[in-house]
Amino acid sequence: MTDENDQAVRAAIDAESRLLDPAVRARPDLVLELLDPEFTEVGASGRRWDARSILTVTSGGSVSPDSPVVVTGMSGTVLAPGIVHLTYFADNQGNRVWRSSLWRLTGTGWRMYCHQGTPAA
């Protein structure tokens, strides 16, 4: 991987980590700064979300300082210039989910374009 690709993956990982931070999730303005306006998610529940509707989850206390998300195995790859794909396991309150995110570089920085969660054993 080139230094440029390493930097892109690191930037996407840092942004993903911010989205998992309970302090960021509690602030819709901060969440929206990290989501692409065209953001979509298919959650572990099977429900489809967009940038506005996901705020009900992020600001609803699904991740609290008392039960933070434990992330393992996060890795990323550059699919094309300005596009990074991340995958990882997220454990929260007894639920383990295989997560996949697409991040794209915009004029305002890295923003999550698409996210999917699949329940894992």
Q: How far apart, in whole angstroms, are the C-alpha atoms of residue 21 and residue 38? A: 22
Q: Check which CATH number belongs to the domain holding 11 and give it.
A: 3.10.450.50
Residue with tokens 């892109």: 8
Using one digit for the tens of pLDDT, what is the confidence trace for 18-44? 999 989 988 999 999 999 999 999 988
Please report the pLDDT score of residue 56 as a whole number: 82
Counted domains in the chain: 1
| Structure confidence at residue 55 (pLDDT) | 86
Cα(79)–Cα(82) distance, rounded to whole angstroms?
Answer: 8
Q: Is pTM, for the whole model, over 0.85?
A: yes
pLDDT score of 105 more than 70 = yes
CB 31 within 8 A of CB 58: yes
Which two tokens mark 85?
């794909």
> Which pLDDT belongs to residue 81?
96
Q: Which domain holds residue 113?
A: 3-119
CA distances from 101 to 13, 16, 36, 67, 74 (A): 10, 8, 12, 22, 11
